[in-house]
Structure 1
Amino acid sequence: MKTKLPILYSFRRCPYAMRARLALQSSNQQCELREIILRDKPESMLDASPKGTVPVLLLPDGTVLEESLDIMLWALNRHDPQGWLSPDAGSLDEMLTLIKHCETDFKPHLDRYKYPNRYEDVDALEQRDIAENFLIKLEALLNRSGYLFGPSPSLADMALAPFIRQFSKVDPDWFARLNYPSVQKWLTEFLDSPIFRAILKKYPRWESGDRETLFPENEPH
């Protein structure tokens, strides 16, 4: 008898959705992928998660995970072949603290830099300069061993890289001139990695009645 799979509502370019797909890809936790368009969200997604943001993971038992970090931890706690939850330097709590700093000290300013017209009385360049302070913290961590918590990628690297990517793409020329060589190298390696290329694959928009799309595409663990 076929086992019912979790259902993942996702949007390819959203950094939060990227986080979830990275962990699902790494842990080889297969799900039914439903690629959506944010301006036209399906009712089935809104029924499961009325707040209407991606990613949303609907588990077979009816549990709804609607935070990207919760989805990452769910997948990696089931299977973590690359040891993302067990870094060589630091602890899970330290990684979660850094991720929290990204979400509170960096992401709000990134949003105001990237989308200044969505906010009142916002100077985009001022917001960019404030956001840049977070890169100083990352540069210091990366200078130690190449990744944020040791010589190999961890949960923190994969949870933060999609947002640094987003920051870099607002003004690529300006970002390329920044004097953060370790951050630049780390981001380039992430963008060139097989796992990032795998999760950035384009899928057609999901509509009710469509044949299921499996993600990741390889056989599940």
Structure 2
Amino acid sequence: MGATTYPFTEGGYTLYSNANCPYAQRALRAFNAANVPYTVEEIDLANKPSWYPLVNPRGKVPALRTPDGTILIESLVIAEYVADQFPESGLLPSDPVARAQLRLFIEKFGSEFTPDYYRALTAADTSDQDKFKDSLAAAIKGISAELEIQWKRESGRGGPFWAGSKWTYAEVILASFVGLLPVLNHYRGFVVPETREFAAFNRWRQAILEHPEFLRAKPDEDALIKTYKKFVPDA
């Protein structure tokens, strides 16, 4: 017999999450940055609770139950909901052009960095690994160039974050993937070069890694490496 109910906080926000999932970390960081109270139900993705399909039939994290009982899924949807529900947090810019530029940056990161990261990690052939590592390096170079452009805009104000000195939506969405680079270094020896073309990315990355909001939801590095081992065919 299947489950008929699931755990949640009555009248509050309940996040269904997993500490090692970079997508789930987006939702956590959105709530943290907006300073909104929430409770977490940790989901073991290898052994999901029988009740979890009642929350998310797709079986993925994150998922959010709002105070009125609405269920939201998908990390970008949840993060944008938090930003819009709590505009005083300043997570998203109010200016339409600045918001469009931010979304273009997130799309660039998601379409270039993330696929090549996982391709380099999961490739079995060493020549393919090298090809995808080179492609990832090129993607990071492009991201670095976009950061340089942004920091010359009023909405960037010299960095080191997308919105200048303030941790906002760009970091909420992308920090967990920046934080995955040690996993690729461990399995594939990938290191971001310390050259001028990568300087803005390295500055941004270091600012992310040192920020309290990153550390607040930072998974254990050894646990991350262990979690991602299943994606590495030659590990």
TM-score normalised per structure 2? 0.73
Aligned residue in 1 for 2:171: 157
Contact 2:14 2:64 in 1 (8 A): yes
Q: Secondary structure at the match of 2:61?
A: coil
Once the two structures are superposed, what CA deviation does each residue of 1:175-220 show, in whole Å capped at 9, x if it has no partner?
2534212211211221111111212378xxxxxxxxxxxxxxxxxx
Once the two structures are superposed, what CA deviation does each residue of 1:73-115 show, in whole Å capped at 9, x if it has no partner?
1112222455221178952222222222222222222111122
Q: How does 1:50-199 map to 2 (within 5 A)?
A: 50-86=57-93, 90-117=97-124, 123-143=128-148, 144=151, 145-146=158-159, 147-171=161-185, 174-179=190-195, 180-199=198-217
Unmatched segments (≥5 aa) in structure 2: 1-8, 152-157, 221-235
Contact 1:6 1:58 in 2 (8 A): yes
For residues 125 and 65 of structure 1, the distance between their equivalents in structure 2, rounded to whole angstroms, comes to 39
Q: Secondary structure at the match of 1:175?
A: coil
Contact 1:6 1:60 in 2 (8 A): yes
For residues 116 and 199 of structure 1, the distance between their equivalents in structure 2, rounded to whole angstroms, comes to 29
For residues 168 and 96 of structure 2, the distance between their equivalents in structure 1, rounded to whole angstroms, comes to 10
Letter in 2 for 1:138: I
Aligned residue in 1 for 2:233: none
What CA RMSD, in Å, does the superposition of the two structures yield over aligned residues?
Answer: 2.8
Letter in 1 for 2:139: F
For structure 1, which segment, 189-198 or 92-101, has the greater mean C-alpha deviation from structure 2 after superposition? 92-101
TM-score normalised per structure 1? 0.77
Contact 1:141 1:148 in 2 (8 A): no
Letter in 2 for 1:15: P
Say how many residue pairs are matched: 199
For residues 121 and 186 of structure 1, the distance between their equivalents in structure 2, rounded to whole angstroms, comes to 30
Residue of 20, 24, 41 corresponding to 2:48: 41
